[in-house]
Structure 1
Amino acid sequence: MIGKLDEALHFQQSALRLRAERQQLLASNIANADTPNYKARDIDFSAALKQAVSTAGAPADGGLTTTAPAHIPGKAAGMTASGVPVLYRNAAQGSVDGNTVDMDVERSQFADNALRYEAGVTFAAGQLKKLLAAVQGQ
């Protein structure tokens, strides 16, 4: 029974986890808008979601292995916590200090991602309500 519930919500779980990681990257870009030589970062969401859904149950540590049980698993450089490669956004307009953050792009991407995250939460809540109604026999 638990396996069926997990299967039913796996897509939404993966999408929400990736949206949260992307939101952190976008917030980092906004926070570093005035940092010299900072390069704006993002992920390819659709490719990451395809990878997350196709590799269900695979370890998401970015390929790192621990050599002792006391070691804390980490993430590879240039990867998010779930093992998605972090990409650098090309600058639409160059700046003197080498910073590639375009605040208009970052704000619009941040707002778009936040709306899509909320839509995902709403959709997952609807799925849970349907599953609960099915379990209760309503």
Structure 2
Amino acid sequence: MQISRVHDLMVRGLDYRALRQDMISANIANVGTPYYRSRDIAFEGVLAREKAKLFPRPEATLPMAATNPRHLRPPQETKARAEVFFRDGHLARNDGNTVDLDVETTEMAKNTVMYNALIAALKKDSAIFRSIIDASAKT
């Protein structure tokens, strides 16, 4: 049973945030490992595309015109996936390690705030649903 249209999207966001927390923790754990490159995950674009599917804006879509039958067709939708990448914007130390402890702890704090915000939104979403059920049971 789906509570609201965005419930599944928020749950996926929580999953991505938990995965990102694990990746940041792994980066911090490998701060002393020679030649370790810090990793991160980009998932905001994936969630934005999923949100656009849930709440389409008709004025924002423009169909592609094909004036010739040999024109290429637009690409078909593929399963959206988050992308893992190396965070190489920082200077490597002498041992080749790119983990910057200040950056990692800052990213971990930001990720924790977003995770907690998603949990609060999920609680509010389910509370609204429960209050509707409770109100309908009383009548």
Secondary structure at 1:86 match in 2: strand
Q: Does 1:133 align with 2:125?
A: no
Corresponding residue for residue 31 of structure 1: 29
What does 1:8-87 correspond to in 2, within 5 Å?
A: 8-50=6-48, 83-87=81-85
- TM-score, scaled relative to structure 2: 0.70
Cα distance in 2 between the residues matched to 1:33 and 1:51: 34
Question: Which among 73, 92, 95 is matched to residue 94 of structure 1?
Answer: 92
Contact in 1 for aligned 2:35/2:96 (Cα 8 Å): yes
Tell me how large the CA RMSD over aligned residues is: 2.2
| Identical columns (%) | 29
Aligned pair count? 111
Secondary structure at 1:47 match in 2: helix
Cα distance in 2 between the residues matched to 1:100 and 1:29: 9
Q: Does 1:122 align with 2:120?
A: yes
How far does residue 55 in structure 1 lie from its aligned partner after superposition?
Answer: 8.4
How far does residue 124 in structure 1 lie from its aligned partner after superposition?
Answer: 0.7
Deviation per CA, 1:27-57: give whole Å up to 9, x if none: 000000000011100011312323565789x
Cα distance in 1 between the residues matched to 2:84 and 2:104: 15
Deviation per CA, 1:68-124: give whole Å up to 9, x if none: xxxxxxxxxxxxxx9522100014222111111000000000011011101110111
Contact in 1 for aligned 2:43/2:83 (Cα 8 Å): no
Corresponding residue for residue 75 of structure 2: none
Cα distance in 1 between the residues matched to 2:36 and 2:104: 14
**Structure 2: tracts of 5 or more residues without a match:** 55-79
**Structure 1: tracts of 5 or more residues without a match:** 57-81
Higher relative contact order, structure no. (Cα contacts within 8 Å, ≥ 6 residues apart) = 2
Amino acid of the structure 2 residue aligned with 1:50 = A
Moved more, 44-53 or 123-132: 44-53
